[in-house]
Amino acid sequence: MENIDFSKFEKNILDKGFVRLVDMMGDDYAAVKAARVSYGQGLKTPERDKALIMYLMEHGHETPFEHIVFTFHAKAPLFVARQWFRHRIGSFNEISQRYTEIKDEEFYIPSNVRVNVPEDRQKAVQLNDEELLRKVIDMMENVFDESYKIYKELIGLGVARELARIVLPLATYTQFYWTVNARSLMNFLNLRADSHAQWEIQQYAIAIADIFKETCPWTYEAFIKYGYRGDLL
């Protein structure tokens, strides 16, 4: 992957967030080589190599896909990051609010309003109600402004950032690096690129799926055909 242009793999998400691919090891051929080492063999023709990826995915032989590794840089609201970090097979490094001071514009403002569905606790549906949305945004912005005002006052009093930060809401943006192999990435997509996931993390999952498709087209195609259990891709 020495010649890959990572600059084109960046997508803006929500109002102030993003996800970008910053590094990658391996590709479709890495999974093929990892699978064929069992027989002391390597790459063959593109047709046979792609057919092998399809076979592996169809029959649940997923360990070869662990040899494709992505590193993403993401910016997301804290409540999205906390859902994301529950995907344990991966490595995370997050910006520290002990060492950095939060800026006043670093809060997520939703673009839609949702209500819960009584028959499904995991699901929420969007309402086409501009008046309600405006009211919700006004209420949230008031809370954000007050929280940030107190945060700055605490810092002004000499209170350490690590303590002052506890007044900030879950809408505060954070940034982190996520290194994950393709097998675990596919599990993430199964759970988060799905209508049962929260809408905000769905947007990140869909963007990551697009990057996955561009960088590993055979593996992505096989995943959609044989492994994907969600309903958004």
Residue (of 51, 53, 72) closest to 64 by Cα position:
53
The C-alpha atoms of residue 27 and residue 217 are separated, in whole angstroms, by 9
The C-alpha atoms of residue 102 and residue 4 are separated, in whole angstroms, by 33
Burial class (CB in 10 A: 0-12, 13-18, 19+), 176: middle
- Measure Cα distances from 39 to 36, 43, 115 in Å: 6, 12, 54
Burial class (CB in 10 A: 0-12, 13-18, 19+), 70: buried
Identified catalytic residue from 20, 86, 192, 229: 192
Residue (of 179, 183, 181) closest to 56 by Cα position:
183
In the numeric block, the tokens 């997520």 are attached to 108
Task: Please list, in sequence order, all residues whose beta carbon lies within 8 angstroms of the beta carbon of residue 11, skipping any fewer than 6 positions away.
Answer: 18, 19, 20, 207, 210, 211
- Measure Cα distances from 185 to 47, 93, 202, 230 in Å: 25, 17, 14, 13
Query: Catalytic site residue 192?
Result: yes
Q: Which residues are catalytic?
A: 192
